[in-house]
Amino acid sequence: MKLFKNKFFIICLCVAVVLCVVPSTFALMGYGGLARNIVGTLTTPFRWCGTVISNAVEGFGKYFGSVDALRDRNEALEEQNRALSDRLKQAELLEQENARLREYLDFKAKHPTFVMEEGMVISYSSGNYMTSFTLNRGSLHGIKKNMPVVVKEGVVGYVCDVGLNWCMVSTVIETASSVGAYIPRSGATGIVSGDAALRHEGVCKISYLEQNADIQVGDKVLSSGSGSVYPADLEIGEVIAVEVDEYSRTLVATVKPSVDFGRLQYMMIITGFES
């Protein structure tokens, strides 16, 4: 048989025979303690190897068990983190919505006769500066052309085009825009309108001022309520420059709008108001 030709097997067999025969012989001769000592000495390396192997196997089992436990714990923590992240985002959205509602209520409290419809920007005009916006409100929501559009900071512009569920808003810096205005400090009146030369700077002008009108840099400009589009006393902007028109010899002032058109997301369309 091939097994009896294997040297390792023969050596193991001889060791086993010796471990069986020698202790038995010594035990018959009355040297049982010596026999146990010899057997213990000879088997110590084997017992040590067995212990090492057993500990190694047990260690590997514990290691892989701890890895599985850590993986499960990590997955649970990741799931908790995702849940907390979602809650945080929801809380931020709710806070933003609450802040917007507070602004709306504050504005409504200052202008109790206004009937308003909130619109959200869904697209912007192309170009270097925002001169028009498209909102998600249209004729289905009672929106009509020439309705004024505002935010809490002041006048944005007016509705220039309307669809079923959208409308386009032209801002006060657009060349086709005009607002009757006055300076509350002095009572000077004029017309705020867009200008092609000023539009790229994000400003407009107030013209048709009297030649001796009292107007200065830093003056606030409010809507006068003249015409049928804008109600009175809405903030338009601030005078940043005053000069004399070389052709008409009348005063013309540059006005910086109170509204930052590049950051608008929600606006209020005034659908009705008392003059």
The answer to whether residue 214 scores a pLDDT higher than 60 is yes
Integer Cα distance of 203 and 174 in angstroms:
9
Q: Are residues 135 and 260 in the same domain?
A: yes
Q: How confident is the model at residue 232 (pLDDT cuts 50, 70, 90)?
A: very high
In a domain, 98, yes or no: no
Domain residues for the domain of 20 are 1-89
| Number of domains the chain contains | 2
Indicate if 56 and 132 belong to the same structural domain: no
33-51: average pLDDT: 60
Judged by average pLDDT, the poorest of 49-63, 169-183, 188-202 is 49-63
Radius of gyration of the chain, Cα coordinates, nearest whole angstrom: 45
Tell me whether residue 106 is in a domain.
no
Assess whether pLDDT exceeds 80 at residue 38. no
d(CA 37, CA 145) in angstroms, rounded, equals 111
**Domain membership flag for residue 99:** no
State the sign of the Cα–Cα–Cα–Cα dihedral 199, 201, 204, 205: negative
Q: What percent of the chain has pLDDT over 90?
A: 43
Same domain, 77 and 126: no
Beta bridge partners of 221: 237
Instruction: Give the angle 257-261-262 at the CA atoms, nearest 5°.
Output: 135
Sorting pLDDT into bands at 50, 70 and 90, what band is 39?
A: low
DSSP 254: E
Q: Based on the domain organization, do 73 and 200 belong to the same domain?
A: no
**108 within a domain of the structure (yes/no):** no
Asked if residue 260 and residue 208 are part of one domain, the reply reads: yes
> Strand, helix or coil at 144?
coil
Residue 167 has pLDDT above 70, yes or no: yes
Q: Are 159 and 249 members of one domain?
A: yes
Domain boundary among 74, 89, 104: 89
Query: Is there a domain that residue 102 lies in?
Result: no
- With a cut of 80, say whether residue 143 has pLDDT above it: yes
| Residue 250 confidence class, pLDDT cut points 50, 70, 90 | confident
Say if 100 falls within a structural domain.
Answer: no
Q: What percent of the chain has pLDDT over 70?
A: 73
List pLDDT tens digits, range 10-25. 666 566 555 565 555 6
Residue 226 lies in a domain: yes
pLDDT (average), residues 121-144: 85
154 and 244 share one domain: yes
Residue 166 lies in a domain: yes
Residue 19: partners with Cβ closer than 8 Å, 6 or more residues away: 39, 42, 43
pLDDT for res 155: 96
In this prediction, residue 37 carries a pLDDT of 61
pLDDT at 23: 57
State the pLDDT confidence band at 226, using cuts at 50, 70 and 90. Answer: confident
119-150 burial, b for 16+ CB within 10 Å, e for fewer? beeeeebeeeebbbbbbebbeebebeeebbbb
Whether residue 35 has pLDDT greater than 90: no
Tell me, yes or no, whether 46 and 120 share the same domain: no
Contact 191, 147 (CB under 8 A): no
Nearby residues of 215 by Cβ (< 8 Å), 6 or more positions away:
183, 186, 188, 206, 209, 239, 242, 251, 253
Token pair recorded at residue 217:
């840099």
- Give the pLDDT confidence of 85-116 residue by residue, as tens digits: 777 777 776 777 777 778 778 888 888 999 99
Identify whether residues 122 and 75 lie together within a single domain.
no
Q: Which string of DSSP letters, residue by residue, matches 74-113?
A: HHHHHHHHHHHHHHHHHHHHHHHHHHHHHHHHHHHHH-TT
Summarised one tens digit per residue, pLDDT across range 253-273 is: 999 999 998 888 899 999 999
Which among 55, 89, 123 is the end of a domain?
A: 89
Q: Is the pTM of this model over 0.85?
A: no
Q: Of 37, 71, 89, which residue constitutes the final position of a domain?
A: 89
Lowest mean pLDDT, pick from 61-65, 74-78, 215-219: 61-65
CB 115 within 8 A of CB 270: yes
Q: Give the CATH number, domain containing residue 266.
A: 2.40.10.350
